[in-house]
Chains A and B, each alone.
Chain A
Amino acid sequence: MTLDTALQLTIGGLVSGSLYGLVLIGILLIYRVSRVVNFAHGQIGMVAAMCAFFLVPYFGLPIAVALGLGLAVAALVSYLVDILVISRVAKIGSGFDLIATLGVMMFLTAIVELVASPKSFKFFSLGAQIEFTFLGVYFNANDLTVIVTLAVVLGLLALVLNKTGLGLSIRAVAISPEIARTTGVNVQAVRAMVWAAGGAIAGVAAILIASKVTLNAFYMAPFLVKAFVAGIVGGLDRFVRPMAIAVGLGLLESWVVYWLGADARIPAVFLLIIAVLGVLPSKYLQDLEQRP
């Protein structure tokens, strides 16, 4: 293997891992403030891509405007899921929120299938046609956009969480909603805002993913599964570790595909996870179990 090939595989893996990471960010944010595993997260993102895709031909909107509106719709859908479904279901008891997000996932899938019919579409290329090589490695603008987008979203998130009053409220709600309430924080409003932001970030991820695969009602599923794998293994109430695992999964896949072929991608990921969990120190697993 040449150095160029190794670099190429690494860049490819970083791009895939960045996409898993982008999907995962919203899942982690929502879990931190609501303690809800949001199975509908991928489909909420898919709504953004579908909206953007159909707004261009039907309303003659520029692509950038359509993408912005798509993100706004995803944020609105996610916000509504929280205030109309999750906040009510949470009062019934634990476990119902899982069923509710699964229900929302199936509902959104059914709606998109009904409206768009069960077809697949070619989404906007978003820079994939702009190609260049650097140090012998092939790049296109779409790949760079993915990596830069992850960095920008993480940077903005760090800024909001650590430097603003809203960020402080979000962290307080994540630690203890009850104590946050006694300091005057409107917990329900903070949660709803985080759901909206999570929906918009899901939309960003789904739009970038759609530019690389075929757009249909189910295209987010494999990305959602891998994001969840990284989240569960790294800990849904942590941030750096699951994000690192998400990017690591992308790198692993890239190298596995090179050595073993495309069919080995998914089995290799899950075999590695089983192997890693099997040899991880028991302290790590206890730590995961003990966290609230």
Chain B
Amino acid sequence: MIELEDVKAWYGASQALFGVTFRVKPGELVALVGVNGAGKTTIVRVISGLVRSSGQIRLDGRDITATPAHQRFRQGDIAVVLEGRGMLPELTVIENIVIGLDGRHKDRLDEVLELFPVLRARHSERVSNLSGGEQQMVALARAIVRRPRLLILDEPSLGLAPLVVNEVYATLEKLRAQFDMTILLIEQNIAMSRKVADRLYLVRSGRIARELDATDVNALESLSQSALGIDGNR
């Protein structure tokens, strides 16, 4: 599905990624975990075409490294929920969902609003009036309405109450089953990641430091304590 090979990235003169290589197979849910500043979000931005990079990014074997950002998303291959949910605060809920579709896929809108009934009820409200959890639903709805083959989620639990985080992850699993999507999940919350992911990659200092199977509980706990400095059960 998506493969990164020897990807390097820069913010101005400052290098942020140093030869990142990994792959996500069709239908998999793979989590990238790591501490703040490890380079996880930069990987999302590189796949999205928002950051200057070298190396190769392949989607279904097709090299998309030089493809402009808007084309990667317009073709419906990729959808991303950016860190902070990527809301357009002055637009309404519906406008945030249908932006960029140019009238296409109107039939899917109803289907998506069935999944998130609260959004149907508040469809004409400015998205800035919604709670963090509701905004996360808008972000997911925007992604799902495009029926992407690859969905990228950058820290979907960030800034949300634990109960809402559980809801978001439950929704994620439901969506994965319903739409047969490949998902790349960026998380600091390793306990949550391992519940939903098939595999995990540890990102450290702009590199992929380690690959782990989500069923390898011992390795994950050891990773949580040694690499991330947290209790893996939390």
Contacts and interface: CB of A to CB of B under 8 A. Distances in A.
Interface of A: 165, 168-169, 171-172, 175-176, 178-187
A35 to B, nearest CB: 16
Nearest to A174: B90
Contacts of A169: 99-100, 102
| Secondary structure class of chain B's binding surface, majority of residues | loop
B50 A181 contact: yes
A224 to B, nearest CB: 28
Contacts of A182: 48, 50, 69, 73, 80, 82, 86
A177 to B, nearest CB: 10
B230 interface: no
11 contacts: A165-B102, A171-B88, A172-B99, A180-B88, A181-B48, A181-B69, A182-B69, A184-B71, A184-B100, A185-B70, A186-B74
A182 B99 CA distance: 10
A171 B70 contact: no
| Secondary structure class of chain A's binding surface, majority of residues | helix
B130 to A, nearest CB: 16
Contact of A186 (B70, B89, B91, B101): B70
Given A168-B98, A172-B99, A181 B73 contact: yes
B171 to A, nearest CB: 20
Interface of B: 48-50, 68-71, 73-74, 80, 82, 86-91, 95, 98-103, 142, 146
Contacts of A178: 50
A172 B70 CA distance: 13
Contact of A168 (B49, B73, B99, B146): B99
B88 A185 contact: no
A181 B99 CA distance: 10
A185 B91 contact: no
Most buried by A among B69, B71, B80: B69
Nearest to A189: B70
Contacts of A179: 82, 86-88
Interchain residue pairs A-B with the least CB separation, the first 4: A183-B100, A184-B74, A184-B100, A184-B73
A168 B95 CA distance: 7
Nearest to A178: B50
A175 B70 contact: no
Contacts of B89: 175
Nearest to A171: B91
Contacts of B100: 169, 172, 180, 183-185
Given A171-B91, A182-B82, 8 more contacts: A165-B101, A169-B102, A171-B90, A179-B87, A183-B73, A184-B73, A184-B101, A185-B99
